[in-house]
Amino acid sequence: MTMLYDEALDRFEPVLGLETHVELGTKSKMFCGCKTTFGAPPNTQVCPTCLAFPGALPVANAAAIESTIRIGLALNCSIAEWCRFARKNYFYPDMPKNYQISQYDEPLCFDGYIDVEVNGEPVRIEIERVHLEEDTGKSTHVGGATGRIHGADYSIVDYNRAGIPLVEIVTKPIPGTDRLAPEVAKAYVTELREIMRSLGVSDVRMEEGSLRCDVNVSLMPRGASEWGTRTETKNVNSLRSVERAVRSEIERQAGVLAEGGKIVQETRHFHEDTGTTTSGRSKEEAQDYRYFPEPDLVPIAPDPAWVAKLKEALPELPLARRKRLQAEWALSDHDMQAMHNADAIDLVEATVAAGAPAADARKWWMGELARRANETGVPLSGLPITPVQIARVTELVASGALNDKLAREVLEGVLAGEGTPDEVVERRGLQIVNDEGELSAIIDQVLADNADAVEKVRSGKIAAAGALVGGVMRASKGKADAARARQLILEKLGVSE
């Protein structure tokens, strides 16, 4: 039986480890010139090399090596002065050569760390290694209940993915997270994803498999010094799943240990629907990969001066950038975190860059637009509106051409595909009434129709003017400038505030 999370944490301490695979966004594959476009028709991006035809040879992609070194530098790693690719030998139909070109005991980058924040507290995650390898093809198992190879009627393979450069990032064991283990795991993967984005090396889409994560978890009784046996959970395909997989594995292992059982070192599969893991292949029957240095490729020996240049040219990393923007925008930790969680920081920054005040940019993206995104189930960045357009709307409000209500209508028009903010204003006729004569005529009519309210204002109950302003706004269909209307009403009635 699984144990409830709180009880599990009362009795045990978790140790985490994360192995993350990132597909690099290079134009061509790791060892041949084939394209890497996602979603191309099956087996259309293949050649003798990535199909492992007899006699075909690999040639390493220099751009992929550069990206890997940049990743290593961004993760504060040392860069190997000399290292080799290695062959990892095992038979599987989606791996054309029946060995994967990877790296074994000589990774390109090693011994680094990244800092993440959990509940506003910094946590340092140490990085064991970052190495470069090639992806496999993609098998689809047809028939059978599980979608896995056992029990399937037949399997089909798409080799388009075979040979796409893949970077594997392995953490050192992460003890001491205590109750926050799931949050730390999620924060780490989130931060890693943003670092990849800021480096521009991958589109890091978990749902498309360009970022994949294996979660290692072990438990030890509180106060113990020796770590427990770990399991490795695969098929963790979203940030939320990272968190859930850690939690579920802690609950399961605690249950096993509490009943006097032993944890089997094994691979487990996470199931999105139930939020639990099931046993996969046991490590005891694990393959002997017979690693040896890849004789078809020459060693990589990055020039230290070039590495130094790459280091200098690294972009500002996400955590530092968030700290800087928070200060520039004068936001609270809470507001900044909310923006981060909503993936709004890039959008707000772009809106500010387009000329909008930070407060306004934040107000629109985190308010009206967040609501719309939520309603329609798309990410903020997926809304059909651009930061430049938001900036234009804030400009129109600041100049007095729009008020808040009209501005919301403009946004609605843009989101509905009616054109740019200016086009929507024009087509929907949403300009504030600036014509004093027209406004004056509307006011005269409202004053004539509301004798009671007029009397109250004249007798000193200035608050009653609100009703008259409301009348003007209704009569103008919201296009009047409310402040100016109020001013004129008071003037006409000979009252001052």
Binding stretches for another protein (CB under 8 A): 48, 51-60, 87, 89, 91, 93, 96-99, 149, 155, 157, 288, 290-292, 295-298
User: How far is 192 from 175, CA to CA, in rounded Å?
Assistant: 19
Nearer to another protein among residue 87 and residue 392 (C-beta) = 87
User: How far is 322 from 329, CA to CA, in rounded Å?
Assistant: 10
Residue 101 structure tokens: 């070109």
Residue in the block written with tokens 């740019």 = 420
Strand order of the β-sheet with 292-293 is: 99-102, 86-89, 292-293
CA atoms within 13 A on the CB side of 380: 22
Nearer to another protein among residue 26 and residue 277 (C-beta) = 26
Shortest Å distance, C-beta 163 to another protein: 13
- How far, in Å, are 108, 171, 191, 211 from residue 112 at the CA level? 12, 9, 14, 20
Nearer to another protein among residue 155 and residue 198 (C-beta) = 155
Check: CB of residue 442 under 8 Å from CB of residue 474: no
Shortest Å distance, C-beta 94 to another protein: 9
Nearer to another protein among residue 93 and residue 384 (C-beta) = 93
Shortest Å distance, C-beta 130 to another protein: 22
Shortest Å distance, C-beta 48 to another protein: 6
User: How far is 233 from 246, CA to CA, in rounded Å?
Assistant: 9
Nearer to another protein among residue 92 and residue 227 (C-beta) = 92
Q: State whether residue 112 is helix, strand or coil.
A: strand
| Secondary structure (DSSP) of 365-397 | IIIIIHHHHHHHT--GGGSS--HHHHHHHHHHH
Shortest Å distance, C-beta 301 to another protein: 13
Helical spans, DSSP H, in 47-199: 62-74, 181-199
DSSP code, position 206: G
Residue 253 structure tokens: 């292992």
Shortest Å distance, C-beta 27 to another protein: 17
Nearer to another protein among residue 39 and residue 55 (C-beta) = 55
Beta strands 86-89 and 121-134: pairing type?
unpaired
Nearer to another protein among residue 49 and residue 326 (C-beta) = 49
Nearer to another protein among residue 51 and residue 354 (C-beta) = 51
Nearer to another protein among residue 214 and residue 294 (C-beta) = 294
Shortest Å distance, C-beta 56 to another protein: 7
Shortest Å distance, C-beta 146 to another protein: 15
Nearer to another protein among residue 150 and residue 334 (C-beta) = 150
The residue among 194, 200, 176, 197 whose CA lies nearest residue 239 is: 194
Q: Number of helices and strands (H, E) in the chain?
A: 17, 14
User: How far is 232 from 61, CA to CA, in rounded Å?
Assistant: 30
Point out which residues pair with 87 in neighbouring strands.
101, 292
Shortest Å distance, C-beta 152 to another protein: 9
Nearer to another protein among residue 159 and residue 365 (C-beta) = 159
Shortest Å distance, C-beta 73 to another protein: 25
Shortest Å distance, C-beta 58 to another protein: 7
User: How far is 320 from 69, CA to CA, in rounded Å?
Assistant: 20
Q: State whether residue 201 is helix, strand or coil.
A: coil
Q: Report the alpha-carbon angle 41-45-49, nearest 5.
A: 150
Exposed/middle/buried for 436, CB within 10 Å: 0-12, 13-18, 19+? exposed
